Structure 1
Amino acid sequence: MEFEDDSRATTYTTLAAGPDFRHELEIRRSRFITVLRRSPDEGAARSLVADLRREFHDARHHCSAFLIGPDRMVQRSSDDGEPSGTAGIPMLEALIKRVSPAGATDLSDVSAVVVRYFGGVLLGAGGLVRAYSESVSAALDLAPLIQRKRLRLCDVGVPHADAGRLENELRSAGFVMAETAYEASQAVLRVALEDEPEVFADADARVAALTAGTAALARQGTEWIDVPY
């Protein structure tokens, strides 16, 4: 499937697919419950706030921030009743400034909500900024992060009986595999490659060697693919 957008980014960092990630801090008797969700669009990000308002209906604040898009063009935050600038913006800054395992500040498609249960001790403006920033940063320190890369998909058609062996061989050789399609007459393996001539040449040679020259790569469109760090 051809990926169509006007993004100039070819890679960024995001949360690994899976359930929401949660982390809790207690700061001067207040509970700060941070929930992170992978959010490909604003609807997904805003649904996290709605979900947590229902779950933690007795909490005083549900502050939020999110980054959306490969180029991080969509950035939003909310203080949700905390003094202006003390919650949402520090949370957003923690997302924006997060350094990935590759050393880049490219986190995106992530929404964060910090649910606060007031503990009776006022933190002051500076204390709130530190608390909300620390809450998001501490959650990100532990959350599972992956790379999201825009890669060229290449199809390889092989007999059903050979599909498992070939897929394992290609994975062992370091190739990124997308979902295999099982058709009536054959299995179609999908290899995700960086769009560079030398990468294609290496993959072509590897497939030819592993199939005794009976199969070849057929170049398709580009897609965003999850790649572990």
Structure 2
Amino acid sequence: MSLFEDTYRTIGKSYEGLFRDKGSKFIAYAFPFEDEVQLKDIIAELKLLHPKARHHCYAYRLSPDRSVFRINDDGEPSGTAGRPILNVLLSLDVTNILVVVVRYFGGTLLGVSGLINAYKTATQLALEEAEILEKTTDDIYEVQFPYLQMNDIMRIIKEENATIQEQQFDNNCVIRIAIRKMQVNAVIGRLEKVGQTNLRYLKTI
């Protein structure tokens, strides 16, 4: 993701794809995926669903800038499973996605090129079914201000199309807002001009 890019492509729900070759069956599952702690539970669920499958290979990409990734061949020859799955994610330029391909061995060895093609094709079939969503990269800020400044703050938030995630109104008000990355400087600049307003950066999503 370049300095001036604040969008990324992902999926909003799970999808499946099925590929068969010489008796072997490759079932690809594509999941929305935002945290590596999800991985263990997802793999465990698929192993319960497919207890007789020989392999559960996967690849994922994480973060809006697509910088985090991991592959796993789960016993297949090195480079024949996880890497072809990841290459599909790279070619589609998608992120925050985990693809697990479950393989049932059909008794006939497919060879390196056959395995690469099977894992790639199963992944492609799953993502061909997917609705690819374009999302913005947002910075989350906490805004604290006196109740008397409410109208000014809310007007800026509305005019700048920031999204309110949480709000707490009292004599001292606290709002948590999501601001699109490319608009952060403009929005923060306007909010800081409102008297007695405190801003705190929390995270990027």
State yes or no: 1:136 paired with 2:130: no
Q: Counterpart amino acid of 2:161? A: F
- Residue in 1 aligned with 2:200? 220
How far residue 73 of structure 1 moved from its aligned partner, in angstroms, is 4.8
TM-score of the aligned structures, taking structure 1 as reference length: 0.62
Tell me the alpha carbon deviations over residues 68-87 of structure 1, each in whole angstroms, 9 at most, x when there is no partner. 44555543222223333221
- Residue in 2 aligned with 1:24? 17
Counterpart Cα distance in 2 of 1:39 and 1:69: 10
Change (3 A) 1:42 1:191: closer
How far residue 149 of structure 1 moved from its aligned partner, in angstroms, is 1.4
Deviating 4+ runs (over 6 angstroms): 156-159
**Of 30, 36, 42, which residue of structure 2 is paired with 1:36?**
30
- Bigger Cα displacement from structure 2, 143-152 vs 86-95: 143-152
How far residue 115 of structure 1 moved from its aligned partner, in angstroms, is 0.8
How far residue 151 of structure 1 moved from its aligned partner, in angstroms, is 1.8
For the 8 Å contact 1:24–1:31, the answer to whether it is kept is: no
**Of 181, 188, 194, which residue of structure 1 is paired with 2:167?**
181
Which residues of structure 1 form unaligned runs of 5+?
Answer: 1-7, 100-106, 205-212
State yes or no: 1:13 paired with 2:1: no
How far residue 145 of structure 1 moved from its aligned partner, in angstroms, is 3.4
Counterpart Cα distance in 2 of 1:134 and 1:179: 39
Change (3 A) 1:50 1:11: farther
Counterpart Cα distance in 2 of 1:109 and 1:12: 12
Tell me the alpha carbon deviations over residues 62-111 of structure 1, each in whole angstroms, 9 at most, x when there is no partner. 11112344555543222223333221111122223322xxxxxxx44432
TM-score of the aligned structures, taking structure 2 as reference length: 0.68
- Residue in 2 aligned with 1:126? 113
- Residue in 2 aligned with 1:62? 56
Which residues of structure 2 form unaligned runs of 5+?
Answer: none
Root-mean-square deviation over aligned CA pairs: 4.0
